[in-house]
Structure 1
Amino acid sequence: MINGSSHRGHNTGVLVGLAEKALKRKGVSYRLFNLNELDIQHCWCCYSMRDSACTYPCRNQLDDVPALQEMIVNSRAVIVASPINWNNMSARLKDFLDRLTCLQNLYLLKKEGLTTGKVVGILVNGHEDGGMKTAMDIFIYFQQMGYVLAPFGFAYRTHGAQYNAKTDDDFFKNDEILKTEIEGIVINVIETMNQDLETKLKDKIVPVSE
């Protein structure tokens, strides 16, 4: 599970906490990565020179991202949480997802992909519009790596532009709709993961990736 917020204890953390409780109730093993606690450098854009320059493992081994990339490769599913910032995901999450280019680039290089058939679920919150757009922007990254979105795999909740992070806090912590939807997302991710699509789809999917 990836918390893309710049503030571990703010509203996105509430969503992550609810997801953690649901995962524990289901007895599913997981790891939580709070991106604000990690060193995540910008993508070097090696592929802009030539496709073959972008490799996995990533050429940049100077920060914490290689360990996260390895986690992505070894996990069967991922749940990503982000606030809405300027009608989009957080900048920190964007930096991290950009660093997954080396995994996506495997398909362009006609090498064996490492992420086809994995499952993703996405959680979004904020006090401004853009919940669905933010979720879709996040999903596009994973779609280009062969991930499958869990059925009903988005949960987003917005409080209203007239509020701020402090007043949002009580709203999100006490919102029964949010609790129900996040538990549903977790269940949907688990059930889809248990279909073992990675194995069933192996050598059957034609990579079509930009």
Structure 2
Amino acid sequence: MPLIRDGIRLLIASSSPREYGSVRIVAKIVEGFAKDIEGVEAIHIDVYDYDIKPCLGCVSDDVMLCRYPCVIEDDMRKLYEYIVNSDGIIFITPIYWYNVPGPMKNFIDRLTVFENAIFTEGRSRLEGKVASFIAIGNDTGSIAVIQNLMAIMNSMGVVIPPWALAYHTSDEDPLENESFILDVANVVRCTVLMIKALKGIEKPIYWYRADDEYKTLVKKIARDIANNYLSSIL
């Protein structure tokens, strides 16, 4: 594994009720791509593993009431710290009727305290962070999910890089979809490149990578990570 470079931290936020599900497997692959290929620090959380209560909509009563830390005492207090300390977030979600599952919706709604810091602190706490998106489902709706997440995140001040999306919509194993796995690897790559560009560390020469060496590398890493992860939980 390469040394962690440039102090870059990624938060991988997935939303799957099944440990053995495709979303969690892909999240582990994303974590591996971040560490093994890009050489950055990555933390994976799945929102189903946390107590995340629905937003109370305090901002509707008084814009100044919605401030960090949120008045709700639950696991978001810990997750807020992960977000504050990250340079970028990669969202990985299944498709629930053209949208994200309830726990992920709660997670996103509760980010309002960061966005509303525009009014309470003078600047969104999410401003300048980078976000990318991966959707996995058996049926249609991937683009609806992704475009919704993109609109929300951009409205909170988040930067969206080129090639910031990957999606698989089939009942076949996502790991057998080589184009999807390549897109996933490039989601990680472009997220890191955008963070580096914003920090002034590196100006990207090109973004999406699709040479044979890279394809072989990501395919092997993805398969190894998936096999190791499934062996650990089954």
Q: TM-score, normalised by structure 1?
A: 0.84
- Corresponding residue SS for 1:54: coil
Q: Does residue 42 of structure 1 match 2:44? A: no
Within 5 A, what are the aligned runs for 1:156-171? Answer: 156-159=167-170, 163=171, 168=172, 171=173
1:73 to 84, 88, 105: 84
Distance (whole Å) between structure 2 residues aligned to residue 40 and residue 108 of structure 1: 24
Question: Which amino acid letter does the alignment assign opposite residue 138 of structure 2?
Answer: H
- Matched-pair contact (CA < 8 Å) for 1:8–1:36: no
Where does residue 156 of structure 2 map in the other structure? 145
* Correspondence for 1:89 among 92, 100, 104: 100
Does residue 43 of structure 2 align to residue 31 of structure 1?
A: yes
Deviates more, 1:122-131 or 1:5-14: 5-14
Equivalent runs, 1:1-210 vs 2, <5 Å: 1-25=12-36, 26-60=38-72, 62-109=73-120, 111-159=122-170, 163=171, 168=172, 171-196=173-198
Q: What secondary structure, in the 3-state scheme, does the structure 1 residue paired with 2:163 have?
A: strand
Gap change, CA 1:84 and 1:198, over 3 Å in 2: farther
User: How has the CA–CA distance of structure 1 residues 8 and 136 changed in structure 2, closer, same or farther, with 3 Å as cutoff?
Assistant: farther
C-alpha distance in 2, partners of 1:12/1:146? 26
Give the Cα separation in 2 of the matches to 1:86 and 1:151: 26
SS at match of 1:155: strand
Give the AA of the match of 2:153.
F
TM-score of the two chains, using structure 2 as the length reference: 0.76
Relative to structure 1, the CA distance from residue 98 to residue 190 in structure 2 (aligned partners, 3 Å threshold; closer, same or farther) is: same
Listed one character per residue, the Cα deviations across residues 69-128 of structure 1 (whole Å, up to 9, x for unaligned) are 122122111111000001111111001100001111111446233221111111101011
Deviation per CA, 1:165-208: give whole Å up to 9, x if none: xxx4xx21222112111001100001111113599xxxxxxxxx
Count of residue pairs brought into register by the alignment: 189
1:15 is displaced (CA, Å) by 1.9
The share of aligned pairs that are identical, in percent, is 25
Moved more, 190-199 or 78-87: 190-199
Q: Which has the higher contact order (CA 8 A, sep 6+)?
A: 1
- Alpha-carbon distance in structure 2 between the residues aligned to 1:197 and 1:125: 31
Q: CA deviation at 1:58?
A: 0.8
Distance 2:157 2:40 in 1: 23
What is the SS of the residue equivalent to 1:81?
Answer: strand
CA RMSD of aligned residues (A): 1.7
Q: What is the CA–CA distance in structure 2 between the aligned matches of 1:148 and 1:37, rounded to whole Å?
A: 27
